[in-house]
Structure 1
């Protein structure tokens, strides 16, 4: 049989070009599809979980507002110290979600709470992030927290969680990026302001997510 004119002289078939590298956006979409395949979608569907989520989000928002007020009035207002809002918010997220999910443990939520606690501890020990190591660690954990919030939203049904938790994760990624760039260049945004902004987004996302789980009037008698 005659040799194909498209086959090279060495007898080997031509190699395919490597696929183009995926951008960060497509990487997030890949993580979303992976989570939708590997995690259950029946979370927060029993009893009054939606009310607990709204209450949790409200507490996180209140702690954030206290942090903003204390930062504007002075660091030691009412015994407030930098990072306190993140430490208490992270602790409440881990504890309340643990109680909602038991006997199962939602490790993604526990991880989100642990990251917020870690951010608060870093800010408490070095409020201005004067050390480059502390600054890199802080913004690294802040980025992980934002991606984790996105993944939590991606692990659930898009109609319920994506609008609030997924979008909140993307918003926190933007806030983290702007805060990191400002810290290493202009230094016009306070470090705690960036952290409190991400906490506010988390709290509002929890409130919106809980409200989206509220049963319709026709089904309210069954819950």
Structure 2
């Protein structure tokens, strides 16, 4: 997920053209990948909160594929609402985990609320901020939180 987010941020900042890339592609692929990994790791148990979070990322991606600049008020409001739900789910998962490292997800979720503020400020005060880079930053925070969770959960000999 982090590599998809970094690729998107680099694409937007450098103005590069990637063949077959649409705004939101990183969230679609990252969300699907996360849900597949969670289903495989948790089998036979399903972690509904993780799966919901990953499917919301997919939904955010499809929203940007259909309206890359969020030109309508409805699409912008839905974008902010979905980001808020993802941030809340990340914080919830981090606070309710019984293993070490849950604080990484809680911190990532709280940091994702800054992405919502960034999207709102970008919409009204800084029109050069694209929703795709806001979503990529959110995906980057999620990926880094999962990496931190993995490192904190390891057992030391």
Measured in 2, the distance between the counterparts of 1:100 and 1:192 equals: 29
Is it true that 1:62 corresponds to 2:22 in the alignment? no
By how many angstroms is 1:105 displaced?
Answer: 0.3
Q: What is the match of residue 28 of structure 2? A: 87
Bigger-Rg structure (1/2): 1
Matched residue SS, 1:78: coil
Q: Which runs of 5+ in 1 are unaligned?
A: 1-59, 218-223
Moved over 6 A (4+): none
Aligned pairs for 1:1-40 (under 5 A) are: none
Is it true that 1:180 corresponds to 2:120 in the alignment? yes
Is it true that 1:195 corresponds to 2:135 in the alignment? yes
Q: What is the match of residue 13 of structure 2? A: 72
By how many angstroms is 1:178 displaced?
Answer: 2.5
Q: What is the match of residue 90 of structure 2? A: 149
Give the root-mean-square deviation of aligned CA atoms: 1.5
Matched residue SS, 2:101: helix
By how many angstroms is 1:81 displaced?
Answer: 1.1
Aligned length: 157
Structure 1 length-normalised TM: 0.67
Measured in 2, the distance between the counterparts of 1:75 and 1:106 equals: 37
Aligned pairs for 1:41-52 (under 5 A) are: none
Matched residue SS, 1:104: coil
Assess if the C-alpha contact under 8 Å between 2:123 and 2:129 holds in 1. yes
